[in-house]
Amino acid sequence: MARSALRVGFVLFDPRFGAFIWTVGENCLRTEAMRRGIQFTTVQVLNVDEQAAELSKFVEKGVDAIVLKPMACQHPAIIAVLEQARAAHIPVVSLDSPVDGVRCTVGSDNAKGQAIVVEHVLARLGHRGKLAYFSGDERVPSGAMRTHSFHETLARYPDVVVAYEAMLDWTALINRREQGAKFAREALRQVPDLDAIISATDEGALGAAEVIQEMGLSARILIAGFDGIPEALLAVESGRMLATVRQLPRAIATRTLDIIKALIDGEDVPPLSYVDVELTTAAKVGSAALDSLELIPGLIVNIASNHEEQRKLQQTIITTQHNILQTVIAVSTAVGSIRDPDDMMHKVVDLLQDRFKLVCAKLYTLPDTHDGDGALTLRAYGGKNVNGICEIPLPALPAEGASEATLRVAAPAPDGELSALSELTIPLISSEHVIGVLELYGANEHAFDEDSVSVLNVIAHQVAVAIENANLYRETVYNARLQEENREKLMIAEKMASLGRLTAGIAHEMNTPLAAVRAAVSELASLVKEYNESIGDDSVNEDDHREIAAEMSKSLHLAESAAERASGFVRGVKSQTRDLSAQQLVSFNAVTVIRESILLLSHALREKRSTTNFEHEHDVMEILGSPSRLAQIITNLVTNAIDAMAERGGGKIDVRLKQQAGFLVLQVSDEGCGMPPEVQSKVFDPMFTTKPFGEGTGLGLTIVHDIVKGDFNGSIDIDSHVGVGTTFIIRLAKGQ
């Protein structure tokens, strides 16, 4: 009875997290497995917990072997699943990074690769000079190996100095090319006479190359990388980079499947199996690029009858390879730089139609759902409407789990100019789910060869990831806008709540000066009547007139003083209530706003037997921002201080404002009960309050924190001691 096909599962990080070389490696593994008749299933994950879960699923399915590109080498969840695989007699092979519990680790010889590129750079420099090194991530075994090899090699050359070194981050979801550019700028600031930059990855080297080119230093500073990704090969070819170390993913794939077969057959294998690497310079770029994208036909020597024909054929292939490389890079740039999904999809379709000389290119997507429901929608179209091609019905939705392109010959309309069309349908897959279809039409039945399909599969994968990223970006922008709107509403609600708490005090404070005004006006009316009656009375002399005038003036002064006090309260209320929504930055006097805010709290202060002392270095202390937001800070902090001293029968609140190098420093201190450390760490958390139920919202200090950080680009700190009191120290940027 014939043995059934081997089943191998591969758990790989999402391409957005890792080096491009392992995306290529996965494609090589899948291609080689298909050639050997092995059922090869790839699952992409976003984090180590997902990786452990998917490994466990493979164990439960009883696959024959598992390939793992670990996201964390000694994570407990991964170790536990590997123990399950060992108990189930399922061999596990890891790529690049050794992990306890795997039978063998296959990877590139990172130590040799770093050593040969360092030697090449130093030879060009005459074994002397100043280097910058963007080291490998030491949390990852291959990164640590490259870094160790770099320093070990350099130790043999005393005239070479490592003038700058920074570690590249291989685990975070960041743009490693931008990180390389950042390191390059820092290196040149610190070491203007730098001679060379060596990066443990091509992404870091490409970022450095951009900076060097911008500064016009390409002719003086040498740059070298590691991995041999397509764009680095182009940079080496153009002279922007001196060299790169090319890993051989096809060789890694072959070695991995050989070891899996040996393990299944019960043979012994070494715990570590390193595959050779190659130094790629400008002289070797052509062959390296061809090999990377698998565009060298296997029988090229047999096809060419002599050296001249072979040379011409090789040149043709190199030209084709260069065009394909440019296409891949152009698509990568499009999917990486355009955040709007529709713009990105139209750009990709136009690029494919132009670069592959297609008759027609169409891109369909499913609704943003993973439940399998929904119909395909045409999102982008490129090419001419030749003989009714645009009217061809929607392509069939690929089955869930389908990952291969489908090629067929389609006949155009009967009156067409073409005899046949090649129709290539490629599913767009992200996180194991079909999210759309790329449908391409060539001008003849041989328009798509095996190599073109392979490249288009890679491009389709990039497009699928980019669509998901663009949708995620759009959702993130929407959520950020929604969060900002909710923040504004929350501030308005808290401000209105504060005004509600001040209502009784405002009424009382307004009533007192108004009563004084009424009394003064009444007294003034009596004096006016008295003065009118004295006109013509010979018994009223000049001194009597002066006395009446003085009393009138006294009443007027009393009315004016009381009216000004009432006016101050009105200004305070206006400063609290104006511009409750999005703020327009204005320059204003912080002293006036703070004084008016404290004035509004006069009734609450007297009611709780508290007093305030406001100290300020100058009468005018300008700041850029929103007056009402600063008023809300003062209101919330002083109100909290009043409440903190209530149990002690009141006390003094000190408010201080001083200048400090581009900032205004505001301090609000009380003599209350103080806060223990465990409370201080939570006071800015939403809904946290130490007050009894119904007496506090838990939002006051949260909003103060948000206003200080978001509206004034400042900081807020707490100095509190139990039984002594609390001081809030706030730094507000004077100009933003």
Yes or no: say if 277 and 113 are a contact pair by the CB < 8 Å rule.
Answer: yes
pLDDT at 114: 95
Yes or no: say if 736 and 715 are a contact pair by the CB < 8 Å rule.
Answer: no
Q: What angle do CA 188, 191, 196 make, to 5 degrees?
A: 75
Answer with the residue of higher pLDDT: 166 or 331.
166
Please state the separation of Cα 70 from the chain's center in Å.
23
* Region(s) of the chain under CATH 3.30.565.10: 485-733
Q: CB atoms < 10 A from the CB of 121, how many?
A: 22
Highest CATH level, class, for 110-247: alpha beta
* Region(s) of the chain under CATH 3.40.50.2300: 110-247
Q: How confident is the model at residue 423 (pLDDT cuts 50, 70, 90)?
A: confident
pLDDT at 574 over 70: no
pLDDT at 586 over 80: yes
Checking 54-62 for CB contacts under 8 A at 24+ apart, the result is 54/11, 55/11, 55/81, 55/82, 55/85, 56/81, 56/84, 58/9, 58/11, 58/85, 58/90, 59/84, 59/85, 59/88, 59/90, 61/7, 61/9, 62/88, 62/90
pLDDT at 372 over 50: no
pLDDT at 156: 93
pLDDT at 150: 95
pLDDT at 353 over 60: yes
pLDDT at 20 over 90: no
pLDDT at 596: 82
Answer with the residue of higher pLDDT: 620 or 371.
620
Tens digits of residue pLDDT in 41-73? 888 887 888 888 999 999 999 999 999 888 776
User: CA–CA separation, 239 vs 218, rounded Å?
Assistant: 8
pTM (2 d.p.): 0.42
Choice among 112-116, 124-128, 554-558 with the minimum mean pLDDT: 554-558
Average pLDDT, the chain: 78
pLDDT at 300: 33
Answer with the residue of higher pLDDT: 511 or 462.
462
Report percent pLDDT > 90 for the chain.
25
pLDDT at 421: 72
Q: CB atoms < 10 A from the CB of 126, how many?
A: 10
Q: How confident is the model at residue 28 (pLDDT cuts 50, 70, 90)?
A: confident
- Name the CATH superfamily, with its identifier, for domain 485-733: Histidine kinase-like ATPase, C-terminal domain (3.30.565.10)
Tens digits of residue pLDDT in 483-513? 777 766 766 666 665 555 555 555 555 666 6
pLDDT at 350 over 60: yes
Yes or no: say if 727 and 718 are a contact pair by the CB < 8 Å rule.
Answer: yes
**What single-letter DSSP state applies at residue 393?**
P
